[in-house]
Amino acid sequence: MTAISTATKKPFKRTAVPRVERIASVVVLVLLAGVAAAVWQVGRHYDPGRYALRIDALKSTATAVEGKASTLQAESADHSGPGGALAAGPRPAEDEETMGHEANAAPAATKSPAAEPMEPAVAGVSPMSPTESYNPDNLYEKIDGRAPAYLGFNCLGLRCRSFAVAAAPDSYIDVFEFAHDTPVNAFGMFALERDPDGKALGFVTDGYASGVGFYFRQGTHYVQVIASDEKPQTLALARALAEERARALPAADESLGARRRLPAAGLVADSVAYVKENAQGQAFLKDVFQATYEFEGKKVSFFVMVAKPGEATAAWASYRTFCERFGKVTVLPPVAGAQLFQAETFGSWKTIYQKDGEMGGTFDADDPGKARGFVENYLGGQLK
Amino acid sequence: MTDGPTGGIAGISRREFMARAGATAALIGGSVAGGISLWQRKHFVPGFQEERGLQLPSFALAQDKALPSMAIAHGTDHDSTIRAAIGALGGMGRFIQKGDVVMIKPNVAFDRPPALTATTHPDALRAVARLVREAGASKILVADNPINSPAGCFLKSGLRDVANELNLDLLYPEAGRFSPLELDGEILRHWTFFHEPFKRATKVIGVAPCKDHNLCHASMTMKNWYGLLGGRRNQFHQHIHSIVSDFALMMKPTLVVLDGMNVLMKNGPTGGRLSDVKRVGTVVAGTDMVAVDSYGYSNLMGRDLAELTYIHKAHDRGLGNKNWKDANFKETHA
Amino acid sequence: MKIRNARRISQGFFFTLFLFFAVVSDLRYMKGYPISLFLELDPLVAVATAITTHSVYKGLLWSLVLLVPTLLLGRIFCNWICPYGTLHQITGWLFGKGRAEERERIEANRYRSIYQVKYLILIGMIAAAFFGSLQIGLLDPICLFHRSMTTAILPGLNLAFPSTFYVRQYFHVGAWVIGFLLLALVAMNIVIPRFFCRVLCPLGAFLGATSKFSLWRIDRDPHKCIDCDLCLKNCEGASDPHTQLRKSECFVCFNCIEDCPTDAISFKLLPDLQREISAPAVPARRAVVGGLLGAAFFGFGRASGASDRNYEKKVIRPPGSVEEKEFLERCIKCDQCIRVCPTNVLQPSFLEAGLEGIWTPILNMKLGYCELNCTLCGQACPTGAIQRITIEEKTGVGAAAEQGPVRLGTAFYDHGRCLPWSMETPCVVCEEVCPTSPKAIYSREVTITRRDGKPITLRRPYVDPSLCIGCGICEHECPVTDEAAIRVTAIGETRSRDRRLLMDGGNTGAVRDLSRRER
């Protein structure tokens, strides 16, 4: 550096770089590489306990904590009667003091003397426990979160019992018998839970087998018979229990009138569903039965609703107004005294008819011809 | 990048080099040593650190079976009745020796006039303090940690005037006067304690009014020690009977005086109407708080001792005798 | 290679590393990365917390790695490492005087007396620290940059480009204040190059004061110097290399060496003291004013009682946080805990925790809840304001079973807003999500007559304060989302003896003692 004269102005860039500066620069770069490598190394290796609990730490939680019940039952033992059901408003303070003791007691309702024992005449099974019975107020104790759905179809109660299988000591069979107010509500709940891949049962109109369970509707009852495993003898006994229950329970099909109007020809097995309210998202479609059909090589969805003639006319008109607002509507010539329209909404076709106290039609069809053809054939009596 | 040294080291004198480089080296060494010595290597779980605290010594005297352990005096004024009660026990000289520093603990919880009996009556404090002074105490301390504002409580209860008049050391519950206490109590384990007076005191005398209490039925000589604790005392009410019986474990006083000249019969512990106060005209003094309070509850307040849970807890834990009739007691009239 | 190029590579490297840490501070990528490394290297953090707590927490010992070279070489941090300095250098070069005409640049880089402000700020902050109020984080560049990234930049970018940084969009209360503050500081480079570094930076001030003792420094050979002042052209620190070097201002950027036409400037070991101003130029009287302002900040800030009895119910601190006054001694407001929080529950406070607690983390259950099996905030915290507790210690299982769980607060029902309590509607989502076992939320079944005359059986929820840990998931999941029907407040937190709710049960210390006695 001393070689350059102080008098001369150097060109803009410095060119002379002392050796010690070059070395220092290299040292810096090596240090940076070292930092990068160290960060990478530290990043790769870490204690998994940093992010998750050690499993053996849970050993300390092996003993239960007493006196901390999660749900404290209502005080009155019987809710089933309308008189006993009401304890309006919050409980007085004195009662709350004593609540802890009740929580330890078994739920009172399961011991209800009203429970008529379930004693099926099937050889090879024996009861494992007393018959339990539940009412709408404590149904959730048995079926937890499913209870609201059952109550939505006016479930009046549940009787259930477990049976041991004599031939297979480890096996058992649970029978659940849900009582509903009407056959149509029992059917509705049955249809809601139906396994679409279930196999039809021969001994009842509405029933299927799925996995280790047999499910059917008989009269106002929806019955589930569920085996503990797939052993042939257990399944056979479960089926026998199901048949026995189907025989024992009274048959009743009133209010299932609309159901009968669904034609049998081309019906896809066990596709019948009952929709209590808001069928196809329409408030005016209530108590609707619908099913899927094989029709001229295509799948067609068809529904029927039975109502008073005025209501049916009004529903048909409402549906037409809805379709006019959201799609295109063509009024078709009447067939066999029924008025018809065809509409395209949201990319699918429907043909809706109304005659007297009945309305219905095809919906969600991709082929307008099939949608129309099915309804015309139905009204013309070609489909039975 | 550096110029080579041109004469000496770095072109400066050896002496300057040593001074400058030495200062830097000292700073480097200092920061490394400081950093390492202050290094907190391990974390802790806040709130779960080990707690330690002081343990109070006992201020009680050795039992003398020949002398009464409890005295009940009936009279018309504080001074003579208290003198009669202490006299029946054998006089203050039995408890206080010349040169003793005596802590007197009144109950000054509220800023109420004396007539409402929510606080220790000034005449009771005056009478006890005079007896202590006459016995030769070198210093008398008066301390309490009231519920209401401390300055107001001492002023309005009339106790500040007594302290001024008799030259007693009145200690307000200032923040620095508390220390953590450790106790093997049923509920009370670690708590902040009004420690300052006990750093100096050699004897402790509790002077308590006899009053009704909304939650624990009665506040007498045992409940009086509540005023020695600080912190979140409002949690005590979740286990009030256990806590009050723990006080009997925490404090072993030399003597307690229960002032039943007037008794707060209802709306306690605050009171507020003269109609809540009943004239009884009795003072109970003794060395066993449990016995004194048992007498107070059943005889001064006229209530059923069976309901006073903390007395039974204290008795069952061997902290005193609830059957006051078993004690060597003496009843007298002023 | 010229040393200046090595410096530029170093700056680029550390800037990238900083951004890398900011991005990987996420449960998905975090692994073992030392995401708070820059904060741990920051000697101001270590020294200030050492003043407040008389301890150096875990990784803060790394600050020696920076402190020692500063004592040897000067403020190399400022122009070689500091990512925030690099941000200002780049933005100043792009938008400020960086590319102006030569004369103007030389004038912009002369020392001005306003540059002593940073020392006054530092003195004020250190004075406050002696009283136990840690305020360096307000302006410490690493804290400030982390905080800006966490609360404003990353969430803002993620809004523009969804799913870049978060699985679910994060929100931060008061993000705009922090964001615009960053923009304003960056914009000030137009007025004064590296305005923040020269005028405000307390870390720069600390390193400047430290570099008084550095052995090496830039030195000008007066015999070679032709007084052209070209050395000022690119001077980052405005340290007057053209005359007596202001050692405490020099960023050791080596630009002057590069710009000197006569090679009069070199980096030299122990040059002549005559040619330097060793210590920061701060008149004693102003230094006293700075200290008094810091003391006043403590006094006035704490006088509200926000860290004492007048504490705000919303100041719910993260799990493992130390007691509030100690928290104010440790928290540097870097908001790294907020960055790593997997539920977005952690938020920078504004004035909830008092003036002193500004931008410290608090839980906002509307935005998130405290995940039970998670202690990431404590993992990220460089100063132990949130201690690095384990999940075992947080949840009170295993070795920590005896002491019980760490509680953040307690949940309380607002019956008027609760569906089963006052609207004849079943609900108890709160009970469902309550993560403790046994559940802290339990319910009582009641049958009432509905308005329409029909009976309905409802489960009405209650809180068991001896089990509630204050995690806030009940509040977060409550369907009454604008102001939940169950809300957590700070009472009952284990970190503070004065804020416990229960004499036993909630007071885990008492429970621990009781269980010990039973054995």
pLDDT for the residue A71: 81
Residue C289 three-state SS: helix
pLDDT for the residue C199: 97
Burial of C394 (0-12, 13-18, 19+ CB in 10 A): buried
Sign of CA dihedral C83, C84, C85, C87: positive
- Grade residue A269 by pLDDT with cuts at 50, 70 and 90: confident
d(CA C244, CA C237): 14
Name the residue type at position C437: S
C26 and A CB contact within 8 Å: no
What does the DSSP 8-state code read for residue C196?
A: I
Name the residue type at position C463: V
Instruction: Pick the range with the lowest mean pLDDT from A105-119, A232-246, C464-478.
Output: A105-119
How far is C-alpha C29 from the geometric centre of its chain's CA atoms? 21
CB contact at 8 A, B160 and B154: yes
* Digit-coded pLDDT (tens) for B46-91: 988 888 899 999 999 988 888 899 999 999 999 999 999 999 999 9
With a cut of 70, say whether residue A8 has pLDDT above it: no
Across A83-87, A327-331, C372-376, C496-500, the highest mean pLDDT is recorded for C372-376
DSSP string, B97-110: -TT-EEEEEE---S
pLDDT for the residue C97: 80
Q: Nearest Cβ partner of C56 from B1, B9, B38?
A: B38
Compute the count of residue pairs across chains A and C with CB atoms less than 8 Å apart.
Answer: 158
**Inter-chain CB proximity B1 and C266 less than 8 Å:** yes
Tokens of C178: 């922090």
CB contact at 8 A, A302 and A293: yes
d(CA C230, CA C236): 13
Phi, psi of A81 (to 5 degrees): -75, 145
What does the DSSP 8-state code read for residue C241?
A: T
Count other Cβ atoms within 10 Å, centred on residue C15.
19
Mean pLDDT over the full length of chain B = 91
Report, as an integer, the average pLDDT of C101-107. 90
Name the residue type at position A136: P
With a cut of 70, say whether residue C503 has pLDDT above it: yes
Name which of C269, C59, C13, B104 is nearest A36 in CA terms. C13
My answer on whether omega of the bond before B269 falls inside 30° of 0, hence cis, is yes
Residue B322 three-state SS: coil
Strands A213-218 and A221-227: antiparallel
pLDDT for the residue C440: 93
What does the DSSP 8-state code read for residue B9?
A: B
* Digit-coded pLDDT (tens) for B202-255: 999 999 999 999 999 999 999 999 999 998 888 888 889 999 999 999 999 999
Mean pLDDT over the full length of chain A = 79
Q: Nearest Cβ partner of A69 from C260, C262, C442?
A: C442
* Residue B55 falls inside a structural domain: no
- Grade residue A4 by pLDDT with cuts at 50, 70 and 90: very low
pLDDT for the residue A74: 62
- Grade residue A284 by pLDDT with cuts at 50, 70 and 90: confident
Angle value at C-alpha C132, between C126 and C136, nearest 5 degrees: 40
d(CA A274, CA A279): 9
Integer-rounded Cα radius of gyration of chain C: 27
Name which of A339, A262, A329, A338 is nearest A300 in CA terms. A262
* Residue B34 falls inside a structural domain: no
Q: Nearest Cβ partner of A89 from C443, C448, C457?
A: C448
d(CA A255, CA A306): 10
C29 and A CB contact within 8 Å: no
Task: Please list, in sequence order, all residues whose beta carbon lies within 8 angstroms of the beta carbon of residue C243, skipping any fewer than 6 positions away.
Answer: C220
- Grade residue C213 by pLDDT with cuts at 50, 70 and 90: very high
Instruction: Report C:65-84 residues touching B (Cβ under 8 A).
Output: 67-68, 71-72
Residues in chain C with CB shorter than 8 Å from the CB of A91 are 444, 446
B43 and A CB contact within 8 Å: no
CB contact at 8 A, A235 and A199: no
Report, as an integer, the average pLDDT of A158-169. 86
Strands C276-277 and B169-171: unpaired
CB contact at 8 A, C287 and C120: yes
With a cut of 60, say whether residue C510 has pLDDT above it: no
pLDDT for the residue A107: 39
Residues of chain B contacting C, Cβ within 8 Å: 1-3, 5, 9-12, 16-17, 20-21, 23-24, 27-28, 31-32, 34-36, 38-41, 43-48, 51, 187, 189-190, 231-232, 235-236, 238-239, 243
Closest alpha carbon within chain A to C1: A22
**Inter-chain CB proximity C495 and B44 less than 8 Å:** no
A346 and C CB contact within 8 Å: no
Burial of C410 (0-12, 13-18, 19+ CB in 10 A): buried
With a cut of 50, say whether residue C230 has pLDDT above it: yes
Closest alpha carbon within chain B to A25: B1
Touching subunits for chain C (3+ Cβ pairs under 8 A): A, B
* Digit-coded pLDDT (tens) for A346-381: 888 889 998 888 889 998 888 888 888 888 888 888
Closest alpha carbon within chain A to C463: A70
- Grade residue A115 by pLDDT with cuts at 50, 70 and 90: low
- Grade residue A86 by pLDDT with cuts at 50, 70 and 90: very low
With a cut of 80, say whether residue C439 has pLDDT above it: yes
pLDDT for the residue A82: 39
C322 and B CB contact within 8 Å: yes
C457 and A CB contact within 8 Å: yes
Backbone φ/ψ region at C238: left (φ over 0), alpha (ψ -120 to 50), beta? left
Tokens of C402: 């005896």
Look-up of token digits 């309804």: A375
Q: Which domain holds residue B128?
A: 70-333
**Inter-chain CB proximity C431 and A70 less than 8 Å:** yes
Instruction: Give how many domains chain B has, as a whole number.
Output: 1
pLDDT for the residue A110: 39
With a cut of 50, say whether residue C224 has pLDDT above it: yes
- Grade residue C513 by pLDDT with cuts at 50, 70 and 90: very low
d(CA B132, CA C2): 90
Q: What is the CATH number of domain A257-379?
A: 3.40.1000.20
pTM value?
0.73
Q: Nearest Cβ partner of A54 from C224, C392, C437?
A: C392
pLDDT for the residue C116: 95
Instruction: Pick the range with the lowest mean pLDDT from C73-77, C98-102, C188-192.
Output: C98-102
With a cut of 70, say whether residue C341 has pLDDT above it: yes
Measured CA distances, C483 to A240, C344, C410, C411 (Å): 56, 18, 16, 13
With a cut of 50, say whether residue A91 has pLDDT above it: no
**Inter-chain CB proximity A68 and C379 less than 8 Å:** no
* Digit-coded pLDDT (tens) for A54-63: 888 888 888 8
* Digit-coded pLDDT (tens) for C464-480: 998 999 999 999 999 99
* Digit-coded pLDDT (tens) for B145-182: 999 999 999 999 999 999 999 999 999 999 899 999 99
Angle value at C-alpha A330, between A326 and A334, nearest 5 degrees: 135
Name which of B110, B184, B117, B171 is nearest B144 in CA terms. B171
* Digit-coded pLDDT (tens) for C253-294: 999 999 998 889 999 999 989 999 999 989 999 999 999 999
* Digit-coded pLDDT (tens) for A186-201: 888 888 888 877 888 8
* Digit-coded pLDDT (tens) for B99-133: 999 999 999 999 999 999 999 999 999 999 999 99
Residue A66 three-state SS: coil
Residues in chain B with CB shorter than 8 Å from the CB of C266 are 1-3
Residues in chain B with CB shorter than 8 Å from the CB of A21 are 1
d(CA B187, CA B184): 8
Instruction: Give residue limits of the domains in chain C.
Output: 3-277
pLDDT for the residue C15: 98
Instruction: Report B:2-21 residues touching A (Cβ under 8 A).
Output: 2
Task: Please list, in sequence order, all residues whose beta carbon lies within 8 angstroms of the beta carbon of residue C70, skipping any fewer than 6 positions away.
Answer: C43, C76, C77, C207, C210, C211, C214
Candidates C11, C445, C459: best to mutate against A (most CBs of A within 10 A) is C445
* Digit-coded pLDDT (tens) for C23-64: 999 999 999 999 999 999 999 999 999 999 999 999 999 999
Candidates A13, A19, A56, A60: best to mutate against C (most CBs of C within 10 A) is A60
* Residue B65 falls inside a structural domain: no
Residues in chain B with CB shorter than 8 Å from the CB of A24 are 1
pLDDT for the residue B63: 83
CB contact at 8 A, A270 and A239: no
DSSP string, A245-260: HHHHSPP--TT-HHHH
Long-range (24+ apart) CB contacts under 8 A made by B216-219 are B216/B240, B216/B241, B216/B244, B216/B308, B216/B309, B216/B310, B217/B297, B217/B303, B217/B307, B217/B308, B218/B268, B218/B293, B218/B296, B218/B297, B218/B301, B218/B303, B218/B308, B219/B107, B219/B268, B219/B269
Tokens of C398: 């295993």
CB contact at 8 A, C150 and C62: no
B1 and A CB contact within 8 Å: yes
Report, as an integer, the average pLDDT of C164-172. 94
With a cut of 70, say whether residue A95 has pLDDT above it: no
Instruction: Pick the range with the lowest mean pLDDT from A205-209, C161-165, C224-228, C237-241.
Output: A205-209
pLDDT for the residue B144: 96
C504 and B CB contact within 8 Å: yes
Q: Nearest Cβ partner of A46 from C7, C32, C401?
A: C32
Report, as an integer, the average pLDDT of A232-236. 87
Report, as an integer, the average pLDDT of A96-117. 43
Count other Cβ atoms within 10 Å, centred on residue B334.
18
Task: Please list, in sequence order, all residues whose beta carbon lies within 8 angstroms of the beta carbon of residue A314, skipping any fewer than 6 positions away.
Answer: A284
pLDDT for the residue A379: 86
